[in-house]
């Protein structure tokens, strides 16, 4: 026994998952050294491959520790160890990557700057003092600068910079925390920042003074375009209403709220009350924008200019060295919004950004690190009562991986997603990849970004799709492009109804397809092309044994004026009311408009069941919003009129019956009566939300569903989610999207889930 354990053996270990660009090989090196092992460690297309020779006991103890206690930002999904024929190694080495097949591992997302690196760049004694591109194996850009995989310097744009001797020493020293850090650079050898005015003239200041100067300019009321590591941001003083309004005007963004970058958690906590979950999100490696209530703010912020008419504000903390150093100098909160014009994708290319943003920004803080995969900041919000997390936008820090669903298929599947909040999903190997949020495909630049992303995914994995999934809407740009691809690649085309894809996304996220009981699907959003050619958006489905069927919906009302209806809540109101309610339209239309729309309404055949448009109609009725200046404005303003609620105080505007449709017209009629009777708006809104929540729970109970899965943009309403949870109690189990946004960002994933689980029925 003892002899056996001392005999030397060789093992092959394969680790898959998020194991590249996360300091895995250096970690293995140190751990194997500690256990007196020799051999080789390398990356390949599947993950990390380790060959080790040593005593069986030592190899086992090494393996156990590695699996139970892996490097902080890694994520092991599969691991395998087995003995192979004995091999003698001279020493222990990290050897260059070897690629034998096609890429089959998760891609690594960007990580927010870690505490150690952050401390170094503000420490005057440190050699990285003031160096904004300070990174280590646990932090820094990854996906943003990735050309291809495995994650090696030569496959990223950091390769444009040669490590100096000191950096190289860090890189080769197992004791150093930058041992094998692929993104290692410093002031001597690395990326340089330049400050220019909006005519392109470089400001003559020393390297050391760049952030001091940039901070002074912001304090002085200037707008600065900052090239971050994942795309351009536009920044200005969040206390200065005048400059914020100038930026709104130039960006053509009259009211949509801006995100605010706080210099530190410390100051943020002095100004706002932050709960535990928000706290964790603010400091996570994804470091998203977190939407929090703006009531009882202690510090001075130009709130009315930052988030007009809203009781909430989106805030984030510095996630790169650039933002950290700027914040250290500034010490005040600043607006930090995606560098683009309203509706266009975030800019990332130096020349194009300069051409577009010189009309918005007074100065440019640029650098020469090339960005390959631009990403907006991600956005999350927690509900007030139950702290339920809703992802509003899934981008930097989360993309391009999706974890959490076990998938078994050999088919290579590409899903084209929706239209308004487009994303793509690709299943080229054992993993599922979902792109960052790309935006509204009506915008030509977004469409270009979308097609580039598809091309990048296909070429990166070197896999042609066998199947292309598209939304059944005949005019979605994503569907048209999907059809083009199927022609080019000779793939099979498969159409999936929009709301069924939404439902399938929740079933997939919670692995409910194998569940034997029937599940109620509640899918409410703005629009989606229905199987009957009408515009759906207030749907009830039943899922059982791989079959989704529509079992009810909101009673149809007129779909008027095409896309204009989503932009003008007053048109939804006009569509929803009957003739004895016409007085509510007063002041909302001129006479000519009224006669045109009334004529259209008379001969209109296209109908909708959209709950999104019902929200719009209610918002217009209550005088909250007649015309949206940004997508979803009316619904956001409506939710924002209410703060806290107490379920006992509300009544429902309609009863759910066993059979038949949800009576949209009765709901609106009852709201109208309350409004005419002078009931206050907040009460009416809460009654309305209570009505919607009750409809879901009552519908589930009268139809004997225990499990309810909700998806669609309406479920970004966190008051509705809280009410639902409270009403469901222990009797009903609720499921929502959790690692994906409830809005159309989840369509691409839902399409894949539907195709894999429901297509045969
Ligand atoms: Zn770090
Ligand atoms: Zn260096």
Q: Which residues contact 410 (CB under 8 A, 6 or more apart)?
A: none
Q: Would strands 224-227 and 38-44 be described as parallel, antiparallel, or unpaired? A: unpaired
How many angstroms separate the alpha carbon of residue 170 from the centre of ligand 2? 9
In this prediction the pTM is 0.96
Q: Of the ligands numbered here, which is closest to the C-alpha atom of 137? A: 1
How many angstroms separate the alpha carbon of residue 138 from the centre of ligand 1? 5
To 10 degrees, the CA torsion angle through 387, 391, 395, 400? 100
Q: Of the ligands numbered here, which is closest to the C-alpha atom of 112? A: 1
Model pLDDT, residue 414: 98
Model pLDDT, residue 595: 92
DSSP state at residue 395: -
Q: Does residue 43 carry a catalytic annotation?
A: yes
Model pLDDT, residue 97: 82
The proportion of the chain whose per-residue pLDDT surpasses 90, expressed as a percent, equals: 92
Query: Which ranges constitute the DSSP H helices of 414-462?
Result: 444-461
Termini Cα distance of the chain: 58
> Distance between CA atoms of 238 and 246, rounded to whole angstroms?
12
Model pLDDT, residue 6: 65
In the numeric block, which tokens belong to residue 406? 């076990």
For residue range 190-214, what is the model confidence (pLDDT) as tens digits?
Answer: 999 999 999 999 999 998 899 999 9
How many angstroms separate the alpha carbon of residue 579 from the centre of ligand 1? 65
Cis-peptide, bond into residue 39, ω within 30° of zero = no
Catalytic residue among 35, 43, 184, 757: 43
Model pLDDT, residue 343: 87
Model pLDDT, residue 417: 98
Model pLDDT, residue 177: 96
Q: Of the ligands numbered here, which is closest to the C-alpha atom of 140? A: 1
Query: Which ranges constitute the DSSP H helices of 9-55?
Result: 24-34
How many angstroms separate the alpha carbon of residue 393 from the centre of ligand 1? 25
Q: Which of 457, 243, 251 is nearest to 346 (CA)?
A: 251
Q: How many CB atoms are closer than 10 A to CB 3? A: 6
How many angstroms separate the alpha carbon of residue 164 from the centre of ligand 2? 4
In the numeric block, which tokens belong to residue 500? 């069924």
Strands in 246-322 per DSSP E: 259-261, 289-293, 312-316
Q: Determine the 3-state secondary structure of 546 from DSSP.
A: coil
The residues of the chain scoring below 50 in pLDDT are: 1-3, 5
In the numeric block, which tokens belong to residue 233? 């941001």
């Amino acid at each position: 026994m003892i002899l056996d354990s001392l005999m030397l053996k060789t093992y092959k270990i394969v680790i898959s998952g998020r194991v590249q660009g996360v300091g895995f090989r250096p970690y293995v090196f140190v751990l194997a050294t500690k256990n007196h092992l020799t051999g080789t460690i390398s990356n390949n297309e599947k993950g990390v491959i380790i060959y080790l020779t040593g005593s069986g006991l030592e190899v086992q103890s090494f393996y156990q520790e590695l699996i139970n206690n892996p490097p902080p930002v890694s994520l092991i999904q599969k691991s395998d160890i087995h003995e192979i024929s004995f091999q003698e190694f001279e020493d222990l080495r990290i050897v260059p990557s070897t690629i034998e097949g096609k890429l089959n591992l998760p891609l690594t997302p960007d990580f927010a700057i870690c505490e150690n690196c952050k401390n170094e760049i503000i420490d005057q004694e440190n050699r990285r003092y003031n160096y904004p591109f300070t990174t280590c194996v646990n932090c820094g850009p990854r996906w943003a600068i990735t050309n291809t995989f495995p994650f090696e310097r030569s496959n990223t744009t950091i390769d444009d910079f040669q490590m100096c001797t000191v950096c190289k020493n860090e890189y080769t020293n197992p004791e150093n925390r930058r041992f094998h850090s692929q993104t290692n650079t410093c002031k001597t050898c690395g990326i340089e920042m330049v400050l220019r005015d909006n005519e392109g003239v470089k400001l003559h200041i020393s390297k050391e003074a760049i952030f001091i100067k940039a901070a002074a300019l912001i304090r002085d009321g200037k707008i600065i375009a900052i090239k971050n590591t994942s795309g351009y941001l536009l920044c200005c003083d969040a206390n200065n209403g005048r400059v914020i309004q100038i930026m709104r005007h130039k960006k053509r963004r009259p009211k949509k709220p801006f995100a605010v970058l706080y210099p530190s958690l410390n100051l943020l906590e002095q100004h706002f009350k932050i709960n535990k979950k928000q706290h964790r999100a603010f400091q996570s490696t994804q470091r998203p924008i977190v939407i929090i209530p703006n009531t009882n703010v202690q510090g001075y912020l130009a709130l009315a200019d930052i988030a007009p008419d809203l009781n909430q504000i989106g805030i984030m903390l510095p996630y790169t060295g650039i933002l950290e150093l700027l914040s250290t100098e500034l010490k005040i909160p600043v607006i930090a919004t995606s560098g683009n014009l309203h509706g266009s994708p975030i800019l990332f290319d130096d020349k194009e950004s300069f051409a577009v943003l010189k009309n918005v920004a007074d100065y440019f803080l640029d650098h020469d690190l090339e960005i390959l995969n631009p990403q907006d900041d991600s956005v999350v919000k927690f509900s007030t009562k139950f702290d339920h997390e809703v992802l509003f936008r899934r981008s930097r820090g989360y993309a391009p991986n999706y974890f959490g669903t076990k998938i078994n298929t050999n088919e290579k599947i590409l899903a084209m997603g929706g239209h308004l909040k487009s994303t793509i999903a690709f299943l080229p190997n054992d993993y599922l990849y979902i792109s960052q949020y790309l935006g509204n495909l009506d915008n030509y630049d977004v469409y270009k970004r979308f097609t580039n992303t598809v091309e990048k995914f296909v070429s990166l994995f070197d896999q042609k799709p066998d199947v292309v999934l598209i939304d059944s809407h005949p005019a979605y740009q994503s569907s048209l492009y999907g059809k083009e691809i199927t022609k080019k690649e000779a793939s099979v085309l498969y159409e999936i109804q929009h709301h069924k894809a939404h439902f399938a996304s929740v079933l997939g996220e919670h692995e409910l397809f194998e569940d034997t009981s029937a599940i109620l699907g509640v899918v409410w959003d703005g629009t989606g092309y229905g199987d009957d050619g009408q515009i759906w958006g207030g749907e009830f489905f039943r899922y059982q044994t791989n079959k989704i069927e529509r079992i009810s919906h909101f009673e149809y009302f007129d779909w008027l004026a095409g896309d204009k209806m989503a932009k003008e809540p007053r048109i939804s109101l006009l569509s929803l009311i009957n003739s004895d309610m016409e007085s509510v339209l007063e002041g909302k239309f001129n006479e000519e408009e009224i006669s045109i729309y009334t004529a259209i309404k008379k001969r209109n055949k296209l109908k909708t069941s959209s709950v999104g448009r019902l929200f719009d109609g209610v918002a217009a009725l209550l005088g909250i919003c007649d015309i949206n200046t940004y997508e979803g404005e009316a619904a956001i303003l409506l939710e924002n009129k209410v703060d806290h609620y107490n379920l006992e105080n509300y009544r429902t505007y309609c009863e759910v019956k066993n059979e038949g449709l949800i009576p949209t017209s009765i709901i609106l009629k009852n709201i109208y009566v309350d409004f005419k009777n002078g009931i206050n708006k907040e009460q009416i809104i809460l009654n309305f939300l209570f009505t919607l929540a009750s409809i879901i729970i009552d519908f589930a109970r009268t139809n004997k569903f225990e499990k309810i899965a909700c998806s669609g943009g309406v479920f970004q309403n966190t008051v509705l989610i809280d009410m639902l949870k409270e009403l469901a109690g222990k009797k009903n189990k609720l499921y929502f999207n959790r690692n994906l946004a409830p809005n159309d960002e989840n369509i691409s994933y839902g399409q894949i889930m539907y195709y894999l689980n429901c297509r045969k029925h």
